[in-house]
Structure 1
Amino acid sequence: MALLSLTLMVAPWIVEEPDAAKDAHRNELGVAIVVFLIAITRFMRYPGARSGFLVLAFGAWLAASPWLLGLQ
């Protein structure tokens, strides 16, 4: 989960288009930071069900946000 969130953080530079869709990248970056922090917390403590539901909620937000926010 931590590696995937880091990949999401650097994805625009991997595909060599850092200037395209800045609003969408800010949204992805925010979700990636939260998921990364959840992943680090899961390493330190017992994961529990709440962290799984949080990751699910942020993943659903990441999938639905382009339509809900009108991002291009």
Structure 2
Amino acid sequence: MQAANKEVHLFCGHYHTTDERSDGCIHQYITPSIFYQIKKYSETLERDDKPFGYRIIELDRQVSSQIITFGT
């Protein structure tokens, strides 16, 4: 893969959990489901009781985002 010469931000959704990872100047954000979450590091597929939510993305001279959660 060729290296990027500027910051790259990838927003994906959804995988029933939230995650953010970076490799050099490439940043990936996974947006949570608005229905239910799954446990991220479980050996089996397990429902997580964390609140569901969504991500707000703000694009200006910088990229920022925040997760908004509902319920229990």
State the TM-score bracket (shorter-chain normalisation): under 0.3
- TM-score, normalising length: structure 2: 0.26
**Larger RCO (alpha carbons 8 Å, 6+ apart):** 1
From the CA coordinates, give the structure whose radius of gyration is larger. Answer: 2
- TM-score, normalising length: structure 1: 0.26
More helix by share: 1
More strand by share: 2
